[in-house]
Structure 1
Amino acid sequence: MKKIFQSFDEISDPATCAPHLKLLREELARRGLDGFLVPRSDEHQGEYVPKHAERLAWLTAFTGSAGIAVVLKDKAAIFVDGRYTLMVRGQVDLDLIEPHDLIAEGPGAWLEQNAPKSAKIGFDPWLHTASAIESLTASVEKAGATLVACSTNPIDAVWADQPEPPTAKAIVQPFNMAGETSEKKRTRIAEEIKAKGTDALVQTMPDSIAWLFNIRGDDVPHTPFALSFAILHSDGTADWFIDEKKTSPELIAHLGNSVRRHTPAEFAPVLDTLKGKTVAADPNTAAAAIFARLEKAGATVKRMADPCQLAKACKNSVEIEGMRKAHLRDGIAMAKFLCWLDAEAPKGGLDEIKAAQQLEAFRSTSEYLTDLSFDSISAASEHAAIPHYHVTQSSNLPIKMNEIYLIDSGGQYPDGTTDITRTIIVGTPSAEMKDRFTRVLKGHIALATAKFPEGTAGVQLDSFARRPLWDAGLDYDHGTGHGVGAYLSVHEGPQNISKRPIPQALKPGMVISNEPGYYKAGEYGIRIENLVVVQLCANPGDRRMMEFETITLAPIDTRLIEPALMTEAEKAWLNAYHARVREVLSPLVDDDTKAWLAAATRAI
């Protein structure tokens, strides 16, 4: 087994909230501020951040991947989405920090009601997007208060043992995995921005820069990013702002003379040189500080969606084939794990950590595995009802008979990224468990088999997955599908399937998850997740139609199915899927796993 990729140490202690809030408030008083905004972000606005940027976790003990806190002199609040509703209450000191719903209320509405008149609310302009600050400014002004941009972050001034920024080496993503040269990508995007009357494009998103330059890195957990900034010019040349410690002769040769290297400290001064230029930046991903700097320098700022995001999402044939290969390796590991779990769990003695470690061990037998794609969500019984549960030594539960165990996990391979969730019964399920699981499965199949016209957005497909649950008065509080990168982030945009009105149409080459679920707080949770590729229908009819190709290969637990709830078409899909899983994986696994596969994929 390779190195342990996931830690199960305690990463949250509510007892730290009081002293850390005290330190921050003292620093705010020294700066003449009455409050401060603390987002879970870094200067690059990515989902995964390096340890030195985990300011929200340091302050509140909340360790989720999305959220924001507002600290005033006499009160504080934290805002998280539906994935973390239960988790946040178990991590923060509820006597000091009030949890709120990020979507239903949000910090803006809370500040309108709670910000004192004439209060000065500080924020770090490098940690908020331009769009976010514009929205928050409007809310704060309604309360008669003002937002104040801080030149330095007050948390950094009081965080005594703040880690150093990362300096991991960036590496080249070779052509045989990227499928397109960096030069061609830069030319393609440069032509796009030039056609829109733009002289340059500012890039801060680490996945966009990784895709554009065909590089990868190791600056953040589980995601192969090299944190940096970039400016792409309309002639196809670029300025790249990266710590010199992260570069190598191979990397320099790979990019050639058309990419000029600078230190990160030079980024803001180079923005000043764009006076008189029309410069594009995405207000939903680029920091507010960038817009302020460009405007002050005299540039014309053109607000536009980051064009690299859509181009990156529509993967080429080489990337799609790489994703299929990565899922084949992952399917072998999952089959071995599920076989092992079925044999060992009924004996007793297994717990959430042991199960996660064993799955990691099976994945690590592949010489290609570079990391997990995220910390595995290994959740027994009531913990399975927490969609983004993180197991630690103190929270670790045993896996018991007649209870549900949920494992959401994935791997990073040089040619692809995986993400899969399976829900397993140990022993005998209750009738309610079978009903709920079957409804989730019906929704999963409805989405997997959907055919839809070109131009359809994910929001238009979301109800396909929810209908069987809605029929019984049930639902789930997370999205149904998120984009997945090709050896990049396990969560990528702009594609999405959810209730949120995101207008981006699903396009050929996009990889997206199909993961409806159901959660009964305090008892159990269910989620079935496969990754699918958007592709053109072979027989489209009168117009261009799209459909999904499922690329995840792992059995779905038929012991949790109530066959009477399924249609013949649904049974046929499941049987065909299981037949493909069995056919593809059986020649590649040991005899015990092969025998288990034969039983686990038996037709219903």
Structure 2
Amino acid sequence: MLLTMDLKTSFILWVCVCSTGFAHNYGSDCVHDIPHEITFVQSRENCTLNHMTWTRLKKMQDLFSNYGLDAYIVTTQDAHHQQGGSPHDRRLEAISGFDGTIGAAVITRNKTVIWTDGRNVDAAMRMDCGWQIYRKGAKGIPSLTSWVKAELQNISRPIIGACPSLMAAVWWKNFKLSFAKNNITMLEIEDDLVDQVWEDNRPPQINVTINALPLEFAGRSWQDKMTDVHHEMAKAGVDILVVSDLDENPWLFNMRAFAFGFDPFFYSFAVIERRTRITRLYIIDHKSMLSRKPSDHEVHVTLERHLDIGEGRCSVRVTEPGYVESPDSAEECVQNPVVKVGEYNMKDVVRDITRVASLPHTRKVWLSPYCSYAVYSAVPTDKIYQDITPISILKSTKNPVEIQGMEDANLLDSVAAIRFFARLEKEVKQGKNWTVYDAFHEIHNYRKQIPHFRAPAFRTLTGSGPTAAPIYNMPTPEDSQPITREHMFMQDSGGQYLNTGTTDMTRSFHFGNPTKVEKDIYTRVLMAHINLAELVWPEGRTGHDIDATAREPLWELGLDYSHETGHGIGAYGGVIEGPGRISSTFADFISDVPFYASIFTEDENINKFPDPTEYPLRKNMFFTVEPGYYEMDNIGVRMENVMYITPAHVNQLSSRCKFLRFETITLVPYESHLIDYNMLSHTHLDWLNEYNSRVLQKTAPILERFGDTDALAWLMKRVENVTREPLH
């Protein structure tokens, strides 16, 4: 949630401290949805002190003497580089009350400071008294490292601690290099200090049932996928692959569970040994989990049977110089990889990684760029191969069954949205009371009527008028804007479907008489949307290469939006999926500034995460396309469809060059009376008419089967063939 301007009150202390080289240069100076002025909050009026969190904080500081610490770093990350994960892992919230997703805090013996971004400043304002708040990426604020160095400069041989299991190796290495310049030691605290003091009211580790994903929906068995992974490992000369990213094991093993949030994932690690064909999978309560009855009524096998536990036919041993001997043929061994399941325990995982990495025949160990420092440091430096994993790449390129599942799910999801939007407009015009919180919940009820629906894909974002401007507009019952005929309404929502479908769709409407400004902005965003939807580009280009195509209609007026134009999307998987994304800014849908902003100075950001905008776009990848425009407390417009990449047939002078294009599978009409058709080019009009024709052809028969005449009438008004109005 973005911070609104009403926080410019006497309790905010505006300061300008030593520059770190981090000007606010993230391509967002010309946008109007980020409160650039807010930099530093030292004290707050009407803040509260939660006795429970304050007591934990004091107990934690009391532990400093046990380790000789002068400071300690706590972030919102969990062991999988996940921001704001399950309630069990919200350690920063447990000692401060900060309930946002982006936060890095430093606790000294007498001070507590947090760095957070613009979308989480509201959450920071709810923190306990005594915390100082820095706005990441704002002009003039110190980096976390600069602040620590200044704070500890008068201490002889200072030591700062952190838990290596809860910090990405990329960050840990940068911290270590930075602090070493000032003779500050970075100390590994294996048993995290927050864990040591969080004894009261801690939510238990989530232990929901993990279900097998039927082969009819997955398209390929987990054994076939594992063989593909082994093949990619062999090409890279890698013997061991450590799987630590949370979206990879669910796809690889054809298993799903909603253990946290809205993505169908579960906490797990895996260690894949290519030469022995043995994989060790670590999950919570593994003994019980393997034999549990499935919780999904369309799944009929236990995990034990699904994973073929104890029935693998590869009895193998490794001999020098690393060849596999087996009573079965090598081909049979490849076809039947073995899985051994153990308990999800960080110490056991690190121990096993250390063991297999130290074997003489292990040449290289493949690690994710996002792995924790505990995982990274378990492998000898000369054996580390760190790159985007083969699972990430294979997962993003959908197989034919996944493609069909995505098309089917997005079609029916579009029908559900059409039915809801038709009802909403009708009842708002009738004068019935609707709030954005009502709309936030009600669209979910329409998705429940779709076969295979399992859960929302994310927390629905809904806004009306001034509340549509924040990118993360999440309403509450206590603070919910009414939906009226005077303001624009925007909703971003999606669903998770068992038949391998994930949806993500945004539409903006006006149920009254829009102003010329509202029509101009809406039409510009539509032009941006169509520009990318109709684009043809050479194979091998990246999301960064094509992003400007979408922004150009807004740039013409000196306007822009601060978030990415699109992101990869999974098939009954992550609503935001790597490895690629479409953007020319450093901001994304998780944070309005890079994660490293104001954490390190520019010269300290030596070790970096991969830039997803530089990853080539490939055939059969699915992306959202969602340009927008926002002004705080005024207007918010966004249009979003799911699209997948297909070959493009173009006239070519050389057959050596292949081209790609998008195929749109979200089929919800646009708000026709918000469009100024005279602003559209003939190409825009042709695309819009073709899109409307497909929407009508595919959704109308389903609406008829539902017997929803109101929705059908609503649809018909918005899919008529359109032309430019004659000039007078």
In the superposition, the TM-score normalised over structure 1's length comes to: 0.91
Matched, 1:333 2:333: no
* Cα distance in 1 for residues equivalent to 2:378 and 2:534: 48
* Cα distance in 1 for residues equivalent to 2:445 and 2:534: 33
Aligned pair partner of 2:60 in 27, 34, 52: 27
Aligned to 2:351: 269
* Cα distance in 1 for residues equivalent to 2:622 and 2:101: 21
* Cα distance in 2 for residues equivalent to 1:221 and 1:106: 33
Q: Which AA in structure 1 matches 2:718?
A: A
Matched, 1:596 2:679: no
Q: Which AA in structure 1 matches 2:60?
A: E
The alpha-carbon deviation at position 36 of structure 1 amounts to: 2.7
Aligned to 2:39: none
The alpha-carbon deviation at position 44 of structure 1 amounts to: 2.0
Q: Which AA in structure 1 matches 2:683?
A: A
Aligned to 1:101: 136
RMSD of aligned residue pairs (Cα, Å): 2.5
Matched, 1:252 2:291: no
Secondary structure, counterpart of 1:278 in structure 2: coil
User: Quick check: 1:115–1:143 contact (8 Å CA) kept in 2?
Assistant: no
Aligned residues: 588
* Cα distance in 1 for residues equivalent to 2:669 and 2:130: 45
- Taking the TM superposition and a 5 Å limit, the aligned residue runs for 1:129-140 are 129-140=168-179
Aligned to 1:452: 537
Structure 1 pair 189/466, CA: closer, same or farther in 2 (3 Å)? same
* Cα distance in 2 for residues equivalent to 1:106 and 1:63: 23
Secondary structure, counterpart of 2:259 in structure 1: coil
- Taking the TM superposition and a 5 Å limit, the aligned residue runs for 1:121-520 are 121-159=160-198, 160-235=200-275, 236-243=277-284, 244=286, 245-248=288-291, 250-256=302-308, 257=312, 258-265=338-345, 266-274=348-356, 275-276=358-359, 277-295=362-380, 300-346=383-429, 347-414=431-498, 415-499=500-584, 500=586, 502-520=613-631
The alpha-carbon deviation at position 26 of structure 1 amounts to: 4.2
* Cα distance in 1 for residues equivalent to 2:97 and 2:469: 21
Larger helix fraction of residues: 1
Q: Which AA in structure 1 matches 2:114?
A: A
* Cα distance in 1 for residues equivalent to 2:138 and 2:253: 35
The alpha-carbon deviation at position 510 of structure 1 amounts to: 0.7
Secondary structure, counterpart of 1:370 in structure 2: strand
Gaps of 5+ in 1: 1-12
Matched, 1:565 2:679: yes
The alpha-carbon deviation at position 74 of structure 1 amounts to: 2.1
* Cα distance in 1 for residues equivalent to 2:467 and 2:364: 48
Range moving further from structure 2, 248-257 or 473-482: 248-257
Structure 1 pair 115/304, CA: closer, same or farther in 2 (3 Å)? farther
Structure 1 pair 526/70, CA: closer, same or farther in 2 (3 Å)? farther
Q: Which AA in structure 1 matches 2:681?
A: T
Matched, 1:536 2:651: no
Secondary structure, counterpart of 1:573 in structure 2: helix
In the superposition, the TM-score normalised over structure 2's length comes to: 0.76
User: Quick check: 2:56–2:95 contact (8 Å CA) kept in 1?
Assistant: no
Secondary structure, counterpart of 2:522 in structure 1: helix
Structure 1 pair 100/138, CA: closer, same or farther in 2 (3 Å)? farther
Q: Which AA in structure 2 matches 1:52?
A: H
Structure 1 pair 394/180, CA: closer, same or farther in 2 (3 Å)? same
Aligned to 2:22: none
Q: Deviations over 1:158-196 (max 9, x none)?
A: 332110101111111122111111111111111211232
User: Quick check: 1:200–1:280 contact (8 Å CA) kept in 2?
Assistant: yes
Structure 1 pair 17/451, CA: closer, same or farther in 2 (3 Å)? farther
Aligned pair partner of 2:693 in 579, 589, 596: 579
* Cα distance in 2 for residues equivalent to 1:580 and 1:388: 31
Q: Which AA in structure 2 matches 1:173?
A: L
Range moving further from structure 2, 64-73 or 388-397: 64-73
Q: Greater relative contact order (Cα 8 A, min sep 6): structure 1 or 2?
A: 2
Aligned to 2:326: none
User: Quick check: 2:115–2:144 contact (8 Å CA) kept in 1?
Assistant: no
Structure 1 pair 596/409, CA: closer, same or farther in 2 (3 Å)? same
* Cα distance in 1 for residues equivalent to 2:51 and 2:548: 43
* Cα distance in 1 for residues equivalent to 2:250 and 2:623: 19
Structure 1 pair 19/469, CA: closer, same or farther in 2 (3 Å)? farther
Q: Deviations over 1:135-179 (max 9, x none)?
A: 222333345433222222222233321101011111111221111
Aligned to 1:9: none
Range moving further from structure 2, 299-308 or 183-192: 299-308
User: Quick check: 1:43–1:126 contact (8 Å CA) kept in 2?
Assistant: yes
User: Quick check: 1:369–1:413 contact (8 Å CA) kept in 2?
Assistant: yes
The alpha-carbon deviation at position 218 of structure 1 amounts to: 2.2
Secondary structure, counterpart of 1:462 in structure 2: helix
Secondary structure, counterpart of 1:485 in structure 2: coil
User: Quick check: 1:56–1:62 contact (8 Å CA) kept in 2?
Assistant: yes
Q: Which AA in structure 2 matches 1:208?
A: E
